[in-house]
Chains A and B, each alone.
Chain A
């Protein structure tokens, strides 16, 4: 209340731009607790470097979606279309690869004479598809002033439907196996899987962009108070367009990684990815009200379900328990967020 110059060393000042509080610490504690518990129960079957790499590979696709979603939710938006855009991108990428890597006859015999063209072209097409979906979302949200929830729900239907039309509703077969051997299942230096490397790079770049650049600053400002951002001269529409384009692009990249891991574009395996990504971001302390969030939090929020699933599988518990646990953690995270908000408003 009063204007006293309080100089007490306050813990909140440590990491600038990262809004600390009870939430993030608690969530990180939950992740550490899970690791400790599974280590006690399962010993080295759980706690060994190889298994941790497995967990990370499993988490990589969702993490790419969660990174884009973090930016979107910090602007107080939402992107329900990420899973569908992932599917569309991987179907487009797969079909371009199949079409350009050899004749129909050849690819059906798993011969890919021109895969040197087909694979890069497919990757580019998949990324472009993702980017275009994101731009479409951003355009509709900013120019037609429609709520993100509805726009991205519409895009979800359009992207998934288009993917199914293109693929005839089945997984795309005859994808060049090199994408799996050279990307999806390749270990660099004998220990670093390429999907993990890609995700790691994206996480680092996203962290820098969110917490160290004007792009990130504007993302927070728009989510915190869109009128203030506008009055400060920020081009809010153009920024939101970029944020949704980023989410679309990362969904496309996730589609490529998914394609590379499984060597097929699967049309039905990603129905719940959007909600999983939103859960991960929100569990990680990003506020659905906008203006608050961190990349590190979203990483932690992605790893909690991944660690749970892995630990349950090793222990032989039905993996469905993971969904139950994640649901509970999600509710806890939102509860913390709401309390934090109302505590702020009382000041």
Chain B
């Protein structure tokens, strides 16, 4: 359980300690510790209802923990809103993508952070479409995301391309951490490969990625470290180089033998 400690170095960028969270009588998180270190892909896995999304929501300011502490770059923080977390450079790609399907890629990537024109026109809210388009092209090129069109609404693109836009947006604005909630859930085989590739490429730029999934093959393909949640508790930390899928499933389901009976 302690063996992953000496993986990619440096102090944790984001660290949660002793997080408790209840919804009414339901204890969703129970003194959970979790950390994200520079340059790693850390997978957060767990069965449905294990508390993965709640933990992410606590880390990104969507929910406030009942108790526990969150440290960002070694300093204690309390994110009151998702906006505050984003301002510190923590971006989230949500499970449902949270893109505007009727808008094009450029509009989505810059949504809420549009470049405006210089001078009086900018003060009036006029957008600098050319600049946003150029920066979008650069970003997509860097991430090797290929779209059939920058001008067409995302609804006309494939699921993989849409995912590419959602990830590109997060990476564009994330200076510290990218969190991806089930980014491969609704994708076909080829598209999954693209997204997993994308995750590695983001990590290689030095930005750590939190990869939430319950698809073991995907997790073992990209993760440098695996944290396992079960019923609101952090029950294991695995090194994908030495652990097996059965170990992970056993930790997720709590079956000691790890014969994968619940998989």
Nearest chain A CB to B65 CB, angstrom units: 20
**Interface residue A213 (Cβ < 8 Å from any Cβ of B):** yes
Picked from A3, A221, A225, the residue with its CB within 8 Å of the CB of B160 is A3
| Interface check A5, CB cutoff 8 A | yes
- Assess whether B4 is interfacial by the CB under 8 Å rule: no
A contact residues, range: 35 or more
Tell me if B113 is interfacial: C-beta within 8 Å of chain A: yes
- Give A6 to B100 CA distance when docked, in angstroms: 22
B94: min CB distance to chain A, Å: 7
A50 adjacent to chain B (CB < 8 Å):
no
Residues 1-12 of chain A, each 1 if its beta carbon lies under 8 Å from chain B, else 0: 111111000101
B260 interface contact, C-beta 8 A: no
A5–B149 alpha-carbon span in the complex (Å): 9
Number of inter-chain CB pairs below 8 Å: 106
Q: Are A344 and B155 in contact (CB under 8 A)?
A: yes
A13, A220, A223: the one within 8 Å of B151 (CB): A13
> With a CB–CB cut-off of 8 A, which chain A residues contact B92?
231
Shortest distance from the beta carbon of A342 to any chain B beta carbon, whole Å: 11
A347 touches B158 (CB 8 A): yes
| Segment from B33-41, B72-80, B186-194, B230-238 that makes contact with A | B186-194
> Residue on B with the closest CB to A215?
B125
Tell whether A16 pairs with B156 under 8 Å between CB atoms, given A227-B98, A234-B112: no
B interface footprint on A223-236 (CB within 8 Å = 1, 0 otherwise): 11101110111100
Q: Which residues of B contact A4 (CB under 8 A)?
A: 146, 148
Please, how many residues of chain B have a CB less than 8 angstroms from a CB on the other chain? 42
Task: Report the Cα distance A287→B86, complex, angstroms.
Answer: 32
Contact residues, A164-216 vs B (CB, 8 A):
208-209, 212-215
Beyond A212-B126, A217-B114, is A225–B101 a contact (Cβ under 8 Å)?
A: yes
Query: B126-151: which residues lie under 8 A (CB-CB) from chain A?
Result: 126-127, 129, 146, 148-149, 151
In chain B, residues 223-257, which have Cβ atoms closer than 8 Å to a Cβ of chain A? none
Residues of B with C-beta under 8 A to A2: 158, 190
Q: Assess the A224–B126 pair: CB atoms within 8 A.
A: no
Partner among A3, A209, A292 whose Cβ is within 8 Å of the Cβ of B161: A3
How long is the Cα–Cα vector from A220 to B154 in the complex, in angstroms?
13
Among candidates B100, B127, B152, B161, residue contacting A221 with C-beta atoms closer than 8 Å: B100
B residues 189-212 in Cβ contact with A at 8 Å: 190-191, 194
A3 and B146 form a contact (CB under 8 A):
yes
Q: Mark A316-347, 1 if CB is under 8 A from B, else 0.
A: 00000000000000000000000000001101
